[in-house]
A and B are shown apart, each in its own frame.
Chain A
Amino acid sequence: MPSALSLIYYFFHPQELRSIIQWKVWHNPVHERDESKECASLKRCFYFLGMTSRSFVAVILELHPELLVPVALFYLALRGLDTVEDDMTIPLEKKEPILRDFHNILEEDGWTFNDNGPNEKDRQLLVEFNVVIEEFKKLKPAYQTIIKDITKRMGDGMADYCKNAEHDANGVNTIADYELYCHYVAGLVGEGLTRLFVEAGLANPMLLKRPELMESMGQMLQQVNILRDIKEDYDDKRRFWPKEIWSKYVPVFEDLFKPENKDLALNASSEMVLNALSRADDCLYYLAGIKEQSVFNFCAIPQSMAIATLEACFQNPDLFKKVVKITKGDACQLMIDSTQNLQLVCDVFKKYTRKIHHKNNPHDPNFLRISITCGKIEQFIESIFPSQPKPVESSPASAEAEAKAKAEANAAKWDMIYMGVAVLTTITIITGSMLFIAWLAGARFDIAFVQFKQQMGQLLGTSSFNSSEVASDHSEL
């Protein structure tokens, strides 16, 4: 039931309401999951998918049948890994072996984990992890290999971070460390998904030869999340913004949240935005390599959401007070635009890039670099979809055509002149005839003329009189 407040909101933003209705009513999934063919454990897996991934579940469920289950299980495996890593109530000596061995656990029938804290929201997934394992072992060996490899590398990365006491105490130091962290939690996901897509024959194998593209897909999403969640993370006593960035503006991290440091904090946030924004053209390049529609939708929707979120966070003081979100109407419009073709996604990126550019603050030390990055994105989009076609070069045949066109234009011009003359002549003849006939019938034109003269005389006389009167009044004052 929509609240009264939101009804009022949509009254003043009808375009957004239209987008929501359009998405809810008219969106046709490329593929739909067939539940009747699923066994109990697979159904349970999809239940967990819906429970743990509110934002992604919809697009996963629309994937091509070949990829639906592998991607769903890949997601659940990583979610399981993340649930262990995230839980601060589990001691390190217990946590580390699980993280490092998780890729083997995927093949261990009946394995479950009951030691998550009661407040860990996804703990039930691990309590029943045996159903995930059961379905994982039914996958094609090629898919299993990919998922296991990524799980191993991510598990090792997470374990390394857990052991890093400095990371827990001080957060991320350098931009390189920051991007390495994003690589482990998101870049690897991009790689895994890409390998699954290519294995299924639904994406261009060339994507595997450009690792920086799939890396950027993950980096973009993760960096936007870190940027947006700064306040939430701070309240949870975690920090992911690299010290190398924020220490340019404030001496200690906490100072970012003080009202008197608003401008400095915004400058710091714009450098975070700049870092993420520089990934945008790689993301578009990656999307150009996707062949199948549902895979394209799956990849494009999060990226469009990310660029829109980036714009919402840019130069926004609210960033340090709460989680900044795009409106539901905008989200629906983004989903509509992201499920068509690459050109519309490019239009989305161009639109939000220009919005970011318009909000760019000249006082910000990152002003020029942000402007340059916006220009690069726009140039990249122009190189894929030129807005301006190359002019046709003139040739001898074209010259003849041009001469012919010129002659025709000349002829048309004279036709116009002749028509004008004809019309005037006709009017003159008719008028003359009418006057002559009237005269024959006894019309007194001489009297009419005299009267006309008198009327004009009186009119002029009256004007003079009024003029004098006004002048007189003025002199009296």
Chain B
Amino acid sequence: MDLPRILVTGGTGFLGSEVVKRLIETNKFEVTAIDINPPSLGTEISSDVRYVRANILSPAELHKVFAEARPSIVVHTAGLVPAGHARYHQKGKEAVFQVNVEGTRNVIEASKECGAKGLIFTSSVTVLVDELGKDFVNVNEEWPTGRASLVYGQSKTAAENLVLGANSPDFSTCSLRLAPIFGPNDSIIPQLHSLIPTSSFILGSGDNLTDFIYLSNAADAHVLAVQNLLNSATAADQAIFVTNGEPITARDFCIAVWKEFGHVPSRAIRIPVGVAWWMGLSAEAFSWLTGKDVGFSRGLISDGVVERYMSIAKARRILRYSPSVSLPDAIRISCAKLESRKRPKNEEIL
């Protein structure tokens, strides 16, 4: 009997490659992975996966690839995330919207054209929480989107609206709103590692709770969504928050990461939010004058002091989602990976 065919866009990326791996491990699916980049060095390439190079900005390429793969379900993880401080700029907005919105439109059209049964879209909590400077306390899917003030959140909102708008009786779509993802080879842990020299400073009260999600839990959610759309389809036309279900203060998350690298802040110097805001403004002015990007801004401060955590009751109910890797284990694994990546350099020096 033929196994259901699944096509994963962004299949060689950070999240996409993990989704591909999880789908293969179930032994229930045939998987095609498409991406603009080849699998990165070090990533274990499975012989059970068919890798195809394609650009989601090219409708013609997509139609050809989709027609060959004939997927029942498409998992759309491909996207452009403004990294670091670019997150707070309007610079690069065109490129972000091009990939995240037009790219998504192309994927939807190609999916329908080739007769796919459903589409799972990797969205983000930023559709809600990118309204800068605002708290989001245990929010759920009933909260209205469309108020994001940052480029990434805006693009994800537009894309999510396209996806859910494409839902129909013979084409089921759902959107998984993921909390910030961390795991081996991610970008969050290295950023926090680079903050170790400033670990004594606390912005604001330090009481703000934040949600994250570990890579393999995020991938599990996608696999569950695939199975759902192939069967009961109760997830159709739904946006669903997915997190690790363990909100923790932003500062404690940082401390837990630093501890894994053998560093525990010895002092706690508290900086009021107001003072920090002016420091951010000064840094931005300096950056504008010199054209050099400094690692500080009002946006960064805002991200650091607001509460942002969600209820995953809907994910538990509809997808039967349950985070299998807990936060302490996830942090340990992720930091160990980064630690081992640093070792080769030391060896080179030696």
Contacts and interface: CB of A to CB of B under 8 A. Distances in A.
Nearest to A365: B259
A383 B316 CA distance: 15
Contact of B138 (A367, A368, A372, A382): A382
Interface string B184-224: 00000000000000000000000101000000000000000
B135 interface: yes
A278 interface: no
A41 interface: no
Nearest to B246: A372
State the 6 A-B residue pairs at the shortest beta-carbon distance, nearest first: A382-B138, A371-B252, A375-B247, A362-B264, A368-B256, A393-B144
Interface of B: 135-139, 142-144, 147, 207, 209, 246-249, 252, 255-256, 259, 264-265, 309, 311, 327-328, 331
A271 to B, nearest CB: 13
Nearest to A373: B246
Contacts of B147: 391
A378 B138 CA distance: 9
Contacts of B249: 357, 371, 375
Interface SS, B side: mixed
17 contacts: A357-B252, A362-B255, A362-B259, A362-B265, A367-B252, A368-B252, A368-B327, A368-B331, A375-B246, A375-B309, A379-B209, A379-B247, A379-B311, A382-B138, A390-B142, A390-B143, A391-B144
A474 interface: no
B256 A367 contact: yes
Contacts of A393: 144
B308 to A, nearest CB: 12
Given A368-B256, A379-B209, 14 more contacts: A357-B207, A360-B252, A362-B259, A363-B264, A368-B252, A371-B252, A372-B246, A375-B246, A375-B249, A382-B137, A388-B136, A390-B139, A390-B144, A391-B143
B346 to A, nearest CB: 26
Interface residues of A, number: 22
A383 B209 CA distance: 14
Contacts of B259: 362, 367-368
Contacts of B247: 375-376, 378-379
A466 interface: no
A13 interface: no
B248 A375 contact: yes
Contacts of A376: 246-247
A98 B135 CA distance: 60
Nearest to A393: B144
A362 B136 CA distance: 26
A372 B137 contact: no
A354 interface: yes
B84 to A, nearest CB: 26
Contacts of B142: 390
B201 to A, nearest CB: 15
Interface SS, A side: helix
Interface centre among A354, A360, A362 (most CB of B within 10 A): A362
Interface string A364-402: 000111011001101100110011101101000000000
A267 to B, nearest CB: 14
B328 A368 contact: yes
A383 B309 CA distance: 12
A372 B142 CA distance: 25
A386 B143 contact: no
Contacts of B207: 354, 357
A386 B264 contact: no
A205 B311 CA distance: 27
A367 B255 contact: yes
Interface in A327-373: 354, 357, 360, 362-363, 367-369, 371-372
B138 A386 contact: yes
Nearest to B140: A390
B137 A387 contact: yes
A346 to B, nearest CB: 13
Contacts of A390: 139, 142-144
A354 B265 CA distance: 20
Contacts of B139: 388, 390
Contacts of B143: 390-391
A444 to B, nearest CB: 54
A108 B248 CA distance: 56
A267 B144 CA distance: 44
Contacts of A378: 209, 247
A40 B331 CA distance: 65
A387 B139 CA distance: 11
Contacts of A387: 137
Nearest to B328: A368
A387 B246 CA distance: 19
A371 B259 CA distance: 14
B144 to A, nearest CB: 5
Nearest to A390: B143
Contacts of B256: 367-368, 371
Interface centre among B143, B252, B264 (most CB of A within 10 A): B252
B138 A379 contact: yes
Nearest to B135: A388
B170 to A, nearest CB: 30
Contacts of A388: 135-137, 139
Contact of A369 (B136, B209, B255, B328): B328
Contacts of B264: 362-363
A372 B144 contact: no
Contacts of B248: 368, 371-372, 375
Given A354-B207, A363-B264, A393-B144, A386 B137 contact: yes
A391 B136 CA distance: 11
B328 A372 contact: yes
A380 B177 CA distance: 21
Contacts of A362: 255, 259, 264-265
B315 to A, nearest CB: 14
B45 to A, nearest CB: 34
A110 B181 CA distance: 70
B209 A375 contact: yes
A367 B328 CA distance: 10
A141 to B, nearest CB: 42
Contacts of B144: 390-391, 393
